[in-house]
Structures are given as C-alpha cells and as structure tokens.
Structure 1
Amino acid sequence: MSDTLRESLLVKLGQLQCHFMWGPQMDDVDLDDVKQRLQDSIIIGGKHQGVPHNQLAYINYRQGNCEEALRDLEEAERRLREIHGDGFERRSIVTHGNRAWLHYHMGQLSEAQSYLDKLEVTCSPLTQGPHITAMVPEVWGEKGWFLLSSRSQCYEEAKECFARALEEDPDNTEWNMGYATALYRLESISGILKRPEVSQSVRQLRRVLELDPGESVARVMLALRLQEFQQQAEANELVEEALRKSPGSPFVLRYAAKFYRIQQDVDEAIGLLKKALEFTPRSSFLHHQMGMCYREKLLALRRNQGSGDPGVEAVLIDDCKLYFGTAFEMKPSFILAQLDFAGICLMNGESNRAVEIYNNLQSLEDVTPDDKQAIELQLGLYELHHTKSESNSIHHFMEGLKIQHGTKYWKKCYTKLEQIARRQINRNPHDSRAWGILGFLHREAGENSEAVECFEKALRFDRGNEEYIIALRELCPSTSAGDTRTRRFGARFSD
C-alpha cells in the first residue's frame, strides 16, 4: 500500500471512537495493575463492567503483545454476539475500531481497511457525522467504563459519558450503574457529605435498584454510602440482602467486608475477604483491605489493654506487614499500601524503616495527584506527632493543600493546619505566621473577606512581609497606590 493510501487510512483511524483513541488517558497508569484487575473482572464475570476484553486488548498492545491483543478482541466479539444478539452491531463499534487500529499497527493494512468498511456499514444509518463512527449510547458507555478503570482524574469525564448514554437510553441498567459508580467514586474522593439527600450517588444507586432489584453490587455500595450518613438500620439490611442474593460475588464480598470493617465487626470482614481472595488471589485491593482489618484489631487491642498483650500484638503487627507488604509487592504503584506499611513500622518503633519509605516515596516521579497529596499528608502527620516539629508539618500540609482542591486529603491537611495555627495564636496572639496560615486557608476555601482580615493581621505583626503583601494584592486587585490599605502597609504594596 502506497504512503498516500497509508496516510489516508491513518486519517480515517483518527476519527474512530475506541480504546486506541482514548489511550492517552492511561499514560501515567500502572498498566500491570490495570491488566490484573481486568483479568480478575473477566474471571468474576461482573454483571455490568463494559467489555473488559476490549480494554485488555489495548493494554496488551501497549505492552507489545499484539497477538494476544488480537485474541482478546476476537473474544470480545464472541462475547458481544453471545450476550447482545440483535444488538451486536451497535455494541461492536468500539471493538471494530480497536481491530482496525491493531491491524494497522501490525502492518496488516488491508485488514484494517476491512474493519473501517464494516464500521461504515454499521454507522452510516446512525449518524450525520463521519460514517465510520457514531456516538451512540453503546460507545459512550464503553468509554465511560474505560475511564473508570483509568485514574481518578478521569472520573468526572466518565460520569459525563454515562450521562450522555442515558440521554438516549434512560432506563438502561448498565449505563445507570456506570453513572452511579462514577458518582460514588467522585463523592468518595471529595469526602463525606453532610446529608444523604444531597448525595447524587445515593439517588442514582436507588435508581439502579428500581430498574434491577437483583443488582447486589449497587445494593452494597448504597449500604456503604448510607453508613457514612449514620443510617445504620437500612444499611445493615441492604448488606445482608446483597449477601443472601449473591453470596459468591467477589465484588459484593469486598464491599461488604469494607462495610463490616467500618462497623468494627472486623472478624466478619476478614472472613468475607478470605472468600473473595479465593476468586482473585492476586488482588492488591483485597490484600490491602486485609491489612486494614488487622490494623483495626491491633488498635482495638491497644485501646482495651493499654500497651496490649505483647505476644498477640506482635502477631497482629506481622499480619499487617504481611498484607500491606503483599499489596504493594503485587502493585508497586500502590502508594497507600506503602504509607500504611510505614505507619505500622512507626507503631512498632521502627522509625528508621518508616523514614526510609517516606524518603523513597518523596523521590518518586509520575505520582498521581491523589497519591502525592496522601504522601504530603502522612509526612505532615509524621513530623507533627513523631518528630514534634510543627514547622516541618506545616510545610507538608501546605504542600498537600496546593496539589488539588476539595479532596478528603485536602480537607485533612486543611484541618491540621487550622488546628496548628489556632494553637499558635492562643500561645501568642501576635504570631504573624499563624495569622498568615489562617489567611492562606481562608483563601483556599474561597472565604476572601476572612482571608483579607487574617493577612492584614499578619502584616500588622510583620510589616513589609512580601508574601502577605502579594496575597492582599491578589485578594484586592482594585487596590491602587492611593488606597488607604496601601498607605497603611507602605509603599511596597503599591505598584
């Protein structure tokens, strides 16, 4: 095929909607981990999960396994025909797009063209745009599932994809479940809401159960969310019913285990996690959850017995290390598991080992914003509680706040900084740095008038401080050289 025809083919491929076009979303994702989760998903056979074989094919392509990727796409087609029957053609748009791209990369250009031809036959009646693609609900939904399995920064876009799918097919249980999952994860990142009536995920999970009362995963996810709102009776009933309806579903088992761990029924949680591990023994998530359960037992022992029984305590510490360690051995990018392992080391008096882990984590590149914020939070807590350095802890909490806004880690950094600043002001009402911290916090929270007040107090006790002057100028951009505030704080405030 001539270069001109090859270029023409590439132009058409660039119009497709498929994993090869969505792939840049996975540039900083642990591909091995995603691959393991997809393989587990195929083993489990989740009710609503998109087409994992499609994404698995793309992962294998990225890892240089083109022949394996081709087999994945053949399996995707087989499963689509088996499950969707008459709806196969619309469901196959993404798969055919993936096959066209894969054949192109394998140098099989005539095969790539044949799949473009198939797409034109399928898509022409469905769209007024390019006839080799059509943004039908099946395509929006598949893209939504792909984004949910990528990184947390993609969850908002995933939500929008499912919303677009539901515009044309509002009663589709799969798209409703995808939409609920995206909302659930977004709310989990931002932290606990104050009231259930403002939780979009609660409403959407109830919608899923209206459409499909047998959807046990939605049932136990709803239970977890209601648990956060202290609606324990309904939450308990939902979990019990989910386990009755789907006692062998690993997805149900893992969510139910988390529910019971939070409820302090740790032995029940461990039992459910062990059942789930029988299905997916290489799940880093499940091993991490096991470590969290044994940590709860360790903390309970210390609460109930002071320093605790040394023999039992040593066993629990070993269990925590085993499961947290296994989690990040299976998934080296599992930052939270490493932080939790370091936390157990601190509890066991192994400060040097914990510091070594913290130093290694600080030196990592290509860390996701979520993980970077979690690292800064833990470093701040370490400096505050173990080295007793408020100054160093302030630095780390500040760095954590700057990474991303509104997450649960952001809120924890914010709370710790506020506690430190107010404690310092109680000790010394003229502490300019403490007032500056409060000003920074109010500004981060969008409370500009309170921020101005705090920065003015900070500047009153530290006249000429450039940081506070700049902050006030940013908060009051209309300030001019003749303004009374400018005159009050000196010529450096003016232009």
Structure 2
Amino acid sequence: MNIMSNTQRDLLKEKLDQLQCHFTWGPQKETIDLEDVMYRLQDAISLGVKYQATCHNQLAFVNCLQGMNKEAIQNLNEAEEILKDNHKDEFERSIIITYGNFAWVHYHMGQLTEAQSYLDKLEMICKPLSDGPHYTAMIPEVYGEKGWSLLRSASQYYEEAKECFKKALVEDPDNTEWIMGYATALSRLELFSGTPENRKQCQSVKHLRRVLELDPDDSMAMVLLALKLQQLKQKETATELVERALQKTPDFPYVLRYAAKFYRLEEDVEKAIGLLKKALEITPLSAFLHDQIAMCYRIKLDELINNPRSRNPRNPAFRQKAKLFNQCKYHFGKAFQHRPKTAIKSQLDFARVCVRNGENSKAKEIYSNLLKLDDIRPENLQRICLYAGTFEMYQRRRESNAISLFLKGLKVEYDSSERKKCHDKLEKWTEKNLCKDPHDSKALGMKGLLYQLNGNKAKAIEYFEKALEFDHENEEYLSALYELRLSIEEHNDT
C-alpha cells in the first residue's frame, strides 16, 4: 500500500471522479446483476465477438466490484494489448477508458502511486483532445464504449446508451460499431410500450441496413434486421436474411438465438427449439436462450392444455403436459437464476406458469420479490403491479390487495400499455361495484380518482362529493377534494 496523506488521497479521489470510465458511469452493484453480466462478458470473450477490448474493460469493472482486483488488472492488461494490436494509429484515443479503469482499480487496491501514474498518462493523452478537465476527453471512442457498457447492464440504461451512440456518430458517422450500437439500443427501446421509439416503430431498420451497406457480412445485423422486417410483414426478405446469417455463422450463439426467435414468431417452434438447444451447448448459462426456449415450450403447453385428452391421467397427453410444465419452469427459472434484478419478464412468465399449474404459493413468492425491486423501468413496475394484482384478484380472492396494486401501477406516470390495463382493471371493478350498489363509497371514490388522474377535475369533484355522502370523514377523499378545488381556484385567478 502506498503512503499518502488524507489530503493527497482526497485530491486523488477528486481527480478519479472526473474520469470517463466504468467506475464513474451509472450502473453499480445495486442496479445490475453482477454475476449475469460477468457470465455474458465471459461468453462474449470466449466466442471472440467484435469489440473484445470493451468486454475486457467491463469485465474488469465487474471483477473489481466483487473484490477480485487481480483478475481486474489482468482484464485491463488484455484490453490494452488488444487495443495496441487493433488500433495502432489511434491507440491513444482508444485507451482512455482502459487507463481510467486502471487508475480506479489501483485506487481500490490501495496502490495510490500507480493510480496517480495512470492519471498522469491520461493528462498527457487528453490535454490536446479536450477543453475541459484534462483527465478525460469526450470523443467518439469514449461515447461508444460507454454506450456498449450501458446496453449490457440493465434496461433502465437503454435511453442513455442510445444518446451515447448518437453523440459518437456525430463525429464518426460511418463507424459500423457505433451504428450497430445505436440500432441495437433503438430496437430494444422499440419493444417497450411506453417509449417514444415504440410509437415510431422500426426506426432501427434504416440503421441496421446502413450497417449492412458498410459491412455486408455482419450476421448479427442480418438477424436483427430480419426480426424488424418480420414485424413489418416483409416475410420473404426477412427469411432470406435469417437463412443468410445462419449460413455465414452457423455456430454463433448470438445469431442462433435471434434466428430462433424469428422462427418461433413464424410458428415453427420445433426449428426454434433446435437452434436454441444448439446455442445452449455453446453458452449454457445464457439467460436469453433459456427464456426463449421456455417460451417455445409454453406454446406447446398452450396447445396441449386446450386438448381435452390432456386432462385424463391415463392418456399420454397428460404426462406430456406435466413434462412441458416442468420444462417451462426449468428454463424460465434458469433465465432469472443469476438475474433477480433485471430478468423481470422471465420471473413474471415463471409465476404465470406456476399459477396455471396450481402452484399459487410459488407464484406469490415471485410476485412478492418483484414488488420489492427498486430502480427499474417504469413499464416493468407497471407490469409487475398488473400481473400481481390480477393474481390477487382471481387466484387469492384478495380484492383490496388487487385494487391497491392496480392503483400503484396506474400512479406511475408513464404512458404504457401496462398502465392502460391497470386503469381498465380499476374501471371494470368500479363499474361492477356501482352496478351492485350505487352508494358504494369505495367505488365512488375510485371513480373520482380515475377522473382526477385523467385530468377531468369537474367529474372527479362530483364523485368525491358522492363518496363523502356515504363516508363523511374519509380523509383521502377530503384531501383530494380540497386539492382539486384549490387547483381550480388558482386556475381561475390566473
């Protein structure tokens, strides 16, 4: 350990905080599944995917967060060697993040002199490139690597990743690495119902086409573009792209998994399962692959459940149904085994399979754990509330719990299809109760709240007043009524 005074150490930390590297970007232990990120990075490195240095850099960060500092230093040494080999002419521009990570790892190891030496190297490199602090430079190489790091971390960082790639492309518009990153971020955001990208579907298409113009052999761009064209009903072109990608890289798990998704959506479930099993042999810990194969088995299960023969214990269809339930649970379980914070969809799917199999206690445990999660995408929180509320309403017959959950989802101010479904559930419950009893104060209050959230203040006041006729001292209704009247008065005064 190097000896430094507290003042020197504080000054060093102040400089480290100015760096652009994995240690100063958003994702930390609390918001990402470190074990899963580590497995995915190790798979990417062993498969020799493009952009190896970025994988080694992020793996160094993950190892350091887990206290494996020697492994982190080894990762960074490997990143430096790759950059020396692949970026001889622009080594200094490409090494900025690696040197920043080196400085932070040495700081965590108590090797403060070594940390300072990397800061000195960064100052020499960045001074000609930056008008700001001389320990970093906001150049395309920095924005691009930050974008990939955020994309690999968790879905709540996709918007920021997209902006990073967008900034990288301003100065370097024909860089296939940044175009591919931008297209990947867009395509993922297009899947979330509450995003602007979802409302302008398939912006990613033109960027994936641009990747293929610049690099016609990029099989990943082919399968991602195929999935988008499938959505646009351009089936013939999409199928050609998938077949071409599989010919070019028949053993590349990343291509196999997206090709399998394509065939699943084309209802060729057996072909999809075959591709996924092949990919699982190469990367057995892939959460994505396990989730996809579980979805295939669920399709087969749905078909079998609708078959009357599957209800007869003496019929082979009954045993096949039990086998498919187990396969679904096994693979959905594997999909979130190392991703309890981020594999929300897999956990919800697992819970729904349990409900269909009569395992309500297991489903309840899953929903309870999901409801404890913090810092997740708003539409994911709304989806959790929707599914957990439906479970409480129809399986557990806990109406008040269900209403609280639907309301929690509705109050998340994010315009998604999940939020609309929470609203519809509450509206349906309100109408049903008011048909039974027009004086039901809870239903009248809920009706007032729904009008309030929809911005109809006059109707909200009307229903809160009706609710108070039958529940005179309800503080929630009185408070809502006071706020509504006050806001109307302020508006009129203005």
TM exceeding 0.5: yes
Choose 385-394 or 98-107, whichever is displaced more.
385-394
Q: Determine if contact 2:291/2:335 at 8 Å carries over to the other structure.
A: yes
Q: CA deviation at 1:270?
A: 0.9
Q: 1:394 to 1:229 in 2, by over 3 A?
A: farther
- Residue 103 (str. 1) matches residue 106 (str. 2): yes
Q: Determine if contact 1:26/1:150 at 8 Å carries over to the other structure.
A: no
Q: CA deviation at 1:135?
A: 0.7
- Residue 15 (str. 1) matches residue 18 (str. 2): yes
Q: CA deviation at 1:139?
A: 0.5
What are the Cα deviations for residues 412-455 of structure 1, in whole angstroms up to 9, with x where unaligned? 433433444455566677766556546645655xx52xx33542
Determine the structure 2 residue equivalent to 1:486: none
Q: CA deviation at 1:194?
A: 10
Which amino acid in structure 2 is aligned with residue 35 of structure 1?
Answer: M
Q: 1:385 to 1:306 in 2, by over 3 A?
A: farther
What are the Cα deviations for residues 466-490 of structure 1, in whole angstroms up to 9, with x where unaligned? 645655665675423998xxxxxxx
Aligned match of 1:375 in 370, 376, 384?
384
Q: CA deviation at 1:170?
A: 1.2
Q: CA deviation at 1:348?
A: 1.7
Aligned match of 2:40 in 22, 37, 41?
37
Aligned length: 478
What is the rounded CA distance, in whole Å, between the counterparts of 1:349 and 1:21 in structure 2? Answer: 46
Mapping for residues 269-348 of structure 1, pairs under 5 Å: 269-305=272-308, 307=310, 309-333=317-341, 334-348=343-357
Choose 312-321 or 64-73, whichever is displaced more.
312-321
Which amino acid in structure 1 is aligned with residue 131 of structure 2?
Answer: Q
Q: CA deviation at 1:87?
A: 1.9
What are the Cα deviations for residues 6-31 of structure 1, in whole angstroms up to 9, with x where unaligned? 44433322221111222554532221
Aligned match of 2:460 in 455, 458, 466?
455
What is the rounded CA distance, in whole Å, between the counterparts of 1:195 and 1:108 in structure 2? Answer: 47
Q: CA deviation at 1:91?
A: 0.6
Q: Determine if contact 1:432/1:458 at 8 Å carries over to the other structure.
A: no
SS of the equivalent of 1:27 reads coil
Q: CA deviation at 1:359?
A: 4.0
SS of the equivalent of 1:51 reads helix
Q: CA deviation at 1:90?
A: 0.6
Determine the structure 1 residue equivalent to 2:220: 217
Q: Whose RCO is larger (CA < 8 A, sep 6+)? A: 2
Q: 1:404 to 1:195 in 2, by over 3 A?
A: closer
Determine the structure 1 residue equivalent to 2:425: 416
Q: Determine if contact 1:50/1:141 at 8 Å carries over to the other structure.
A: no
What is the rounded CA distance, in whole Å, between the counterparts of 1:24 and 1:119 in structure 2? Answer: 23
CA-based RMSD of the aligned residues comes to 3.2
Mapping for residues 23-422 of structure 1, pairs under 5 Å: 25-47=28-50, 51-190=54-193, 198-305=201-308, 307=310, 309-333=317-341, 334-362=343-371, 364=372, 366=374, 368-369=376-377, 372-388=381-397, 390-403=399-412, 405-421=414-430
Q: CA deviation at 1:121?
A: 2.2
What residue ranges of structure 2 are gaps of 5+ in the alignment? Answer: 312-316
Q: Determine if contact 2:45/2:52 at 8 Å carries over to the other structure.
A: no
Which amino acid in structure 2 is aligned with residue 417 of structure 1?
Answer: L
What is the rounded CA distance, in whole Å, between the counterparts of 1:287 and 1:241 in structure 2? Answer: 24
Q: 1:192 to 1:49 in 2, by over 3 A?
A: farther
Q: CA deviation at 1:84?
A: 2.2
What is the rounded CA distance, in whole Å, between the counterparts of 1:299 and 1:428 in structure 2? Answer: 38
What is the rounded CA distance, in whole Å, between the counterparts of 1:40 and 1:292 in structure 2? Answer: 23
What is the rounded CA distance, in whole Å, between the counterparts of 1:399 and 1:71 in structure 2? Answer: 46
Which amino acid in structure 1 is aligned with residue 467 of structure 2?
Answer: D
Q: CA deviation at 1:258?
A: 2.0
Q: Determine if contact 1:193/1:199 at 8 Å carries over to the other structure.
A: no
Q: Determine if contact 1:284/1:328 at 8 Å carries over to the other structure.
A: yes
Q: CA deviation at 1:389?
A: 5.2
Identity percentage over the alignment? Answer: 53
What are the Cα deviations for residues 187-227 of structure 1, in whole angstroms up to 9, with x where unaligned? 22236989986543333333333333333223322333343
